[in-house]
Amino acid sequence: MPGRSRRSTAEISGEPTAAPVRRTQQERTAQAGQALLDAAEILFSQRGVDQTSLADVGQLAGYSRGLANHHFGTKAALVDALAERIQSRFVADIDFTTIEQSDADMVEILADLVQDYLEAIVRYADTSRAFFVMWGAAIPSEAALGPIFAADDARFRHGAETLLRAGRTNGTVAPDIDPAAAAVAVIGMVRGIAAQYLIAPDAFDLPAATHACRTFVKRTLTAP
């Protein structure tokens, strides 16, 4: 999920948006759609996907029991739409083409991204939890969500791998590092830390773990 850059200011309210003045049909529809996704996000984060009914979503959004189904057609479509929205909101806005030609310290950049990600988990706890709930629901081998989250994981790994490859080229990443394998490990580390945190937020010191995570990235990957 996250990976959003530090200066991002996007807002995720977390509260069902009260419907203000309405204009065109299109706007009404778009507004309803967002309110429904906001509601789904909260409910998924609290109860999980399967324990949330479409009627609950519609009502928390301030609409009728039937609207969620009317708007999305099926529950699967709602889940897809929410996954899509979270992913697009949190996709790192990194210009990889620029990076590939840069002389910057790629390890430092990666360490910052990792830190951003883990800090975003706390800041956008509902959204993050909803994301991880869906990520977990994607694990069963026959899960419909599987391909969607597999693609998301792949995109993330690819981003990290690109950074590492650029770092090997410009000499800031240790040459004996396998970029693809290290990307799996780094993405795994942040996802695994986030999941532990979301299951039991008070069980450990997240800032300390975030710092440890930085240390892992920097000590292991920096060119000697």
Partner DNA sequence: GATGAATGAGATTTCATTCAT
Partner DNA sequence: AATGAATGAAATCTCATTCAT
Q: Does 9 bind DNA (CB under 7 A)?
A: no
Question: How buried is residue 10: exposed, middle or buried, by Cβ count under 10 Å (0-12/13-18/19+)?
Answer: exposed
Which of its own copies, DNA, none sits in contact with 187, Cβ below 5 to 8 A by type? its own copies
Place of tokens 């800090």: 119
Q: Does 55 bind its own copies (CB under 8 A)?
A: no
In the bound state with DNA, the residue whose beta carbon lies nearer, of 45 and 52, is 52
Q: Does 43 bind DNA (CB under 7 A)?
A: no
Among 150, 155, 169, 171, binds its own copies (CB under 8 A): 150
Q: Does 91 bind its own copies (CB under 8 A)?
A: no
Q: How far is the CB of 34 from its own copies (least distance, A)?
A: 22
Residue partners of 156: CB distance under 8 A and separation at least 6: 3, 187
HSE, CB side, 13 Å, CA atoms: give it for residue 55: 1
Do the beta carbons of residue 174 and residue 222 sit within 8 Å? yes
Distances (CA, A) of 150 to 1, 56, 80, 81, 87: 12, 28, 13, 16, 12
| Segment interacting with its own copies, rule: CB under 8 A, options 10-18, 83-91, 165-173, 201-209 | 201-209
Q: Does 213 bind its own copies (CB under 8 A)?
A: yes
Residue partners of 92: CB distance under 8 A and separation at least 6: 3, 4, 5, 113, 159
Q: Binders of DNA among 65-94, rule CB under 7 A?
A: 65-67, 69-71, 73-76
Distance CA 79, CA 205 (A): 32
Helix (H, G, I), strand (E, B) or coil at 31: helix
Q: Does 65 bind its own copies (CB under 8 A)?
A: no
Q: Does 16 bind its own copies (CB under 8 A)?
A: no
Q: Does 77 bind its own copies (CB under 8 A)?
A: no
Q: Does 34 bind DNA (CB under 7 A)?
A: no
Q: Does 47 bind its own copies (CB under 8 A)?
A: yes
Distances (CA, A) of 13 to 34, 95, 97: 11, 27, 33
Residue 21 has a CB neighbour count (10 Å cut-off) of: 5
| Segment interacting with its own copies, rule: CB under 8 A, options 25-33, 86-94, 100-108, 173-181 | 173-181
In the bound state with DNA, the residue whose beta carbon lies nearer, of 62 and 94, is 62
Size of the site for DNA (CB under 7 A): 27
- What does the binding site for DNA look like in residue numbers (CB under 7 A)? 22-26, 28-29, 31-32, 51-55, 58, 63-67, 69-71, 73-76
